Amino acid sequence: MAYHTVIDPRRTVCIESAEAENENIRALNFRDSTCSLAKPGQYAMVWAPGVDEVPMSLYRIGPGDMCGILVENVGEATEAIHHLTVGRSFGLRGPYGNSYTLIRGRALLVAGGMGIAPILALADALKANGSQIDAACGARTTTTFCGLERARTILGKDRIRIATDDGSLGAKGFVTTLLTPLLRNESYEMVYCCGPEPMIKEVYRLTEEHGLPLQASMERIIKCSVGICGSCMIGRYRVCKDGLVLSSAQLREIADELGTYRRGPDGRRIPL
């Protein structure tokens, strides 16, 4: 995987525009010359002063210095960031981690829930690289979908398959239910994904079954972002530094652990 990590002091950025994706998720756009150099799949550490710092994938990288994050209101820090309005500021450092490796060919993108954030940045880059792209996107229900309109703008409506757990939008079931017919009937040179770890485990199983390479962006608790604390470890990999993107070969090394547990804030293993 390609690395493009910038270790720099925390800085402050100002929100230039904000859109509500749904009642719990907002897109915040800001200018930052450092994050504008990020590659798809990299993330930034976002700081709510006086509260906490959390990792967030960049869903938008460019044009120019414009960048963006999708913020889901799920905890104390994300709640504080979620409620910021245009003209307000938050702290930022990064980008960190590795990135997706781009191909120029036929690609399938798979996004579950908030995993759509880095997939959007990837779709932009792949399209600019001349790739042909199909996408499968899933969420719990219609009202929890985010990033869908941007995905349709980038790829076109006919290139995106949709699933919801309750069937309120698209097919009923997990997003992985869309993959079997796609992998059976279409020809892809690479599969990219991001989402909950059990989803990644199933995408990994299906790509192995069909002999296709996979690049998966992992979701783990990240504190330091530079590989020191080990809170994000799976197998021998420190996801914050060795990932977020892991290849098929790396996933094979951790197949027994993949999708079986997550680590809590104190580093203890918690069964999934």
Whether the predicted pLDDT of 81 surpasses 90: yes
Whether the predicted pLDDT of 3 surpasses 60: no
Domains of the chain plus CATH, in order, are 11-96 (2.40.30.10), 106-271 (3.40.50.80)
- Tell the residue number behind the tokens 């309005």, with chain if given: 85
Whether the predicted pLDDT of 123 surpasses 90: yes
- pLDDT given at position 174: 95
pLDDT per residue as tens digits for the range 12-60 = 999 999 999 998 999 999 999 999 999 999 999 999 988 999 999 999 9
As a whole number of Å, the end-to-end CA separation of the chain is: 27
- pLDDT given at position 177: 93
- pLDDT given at position 98: 96
Distances (CA, A) of 119 to 32, 150, 194, 219: 20, 11, 7, 13
pLDDT per residue as tens digits for the range 197-231 = 999 999 999 999 999 999 999 998 898 888 888 88
pLDDT confidence tier of residue 4, bands split at 50, 70 and 90: very low
- pLDDT given at position 272: 83
Name the residue among 209, 211, 214, 212 with its Cα closest to residue 251.
Answer: 214
Strand partners, 247: 215
- pLDDT given at position 89: 96
Name the residue among 73, 38, 88, 74 with its Cα closest to residue 59.
Answer: 38
Whether the predicted pLDDT of 7 surpasses 80: no
- pLDDT given at position 8: 52
Mean pLDDT (the chain) is 92
Cβ atoms of 232 and 263 closer than 8 Å: yes
Whether the predicted pLDDT of 114 surpasses 60: yes
Name the residue among 220, 223, 245, 222 with its Cα closest to residue 234.
Answer: 220
pLDDT confidence tier of residue 97, bands split at 50, 70 and 90: very high
Whether the predicted pLDDT of 252 surpasses 80: yes
The number of C-alpha atoms within 13 Å of 14 and in the hemisphere containing its C-beta is: 3
What percent of the chain is predicted at pLDDT more than 70? 97
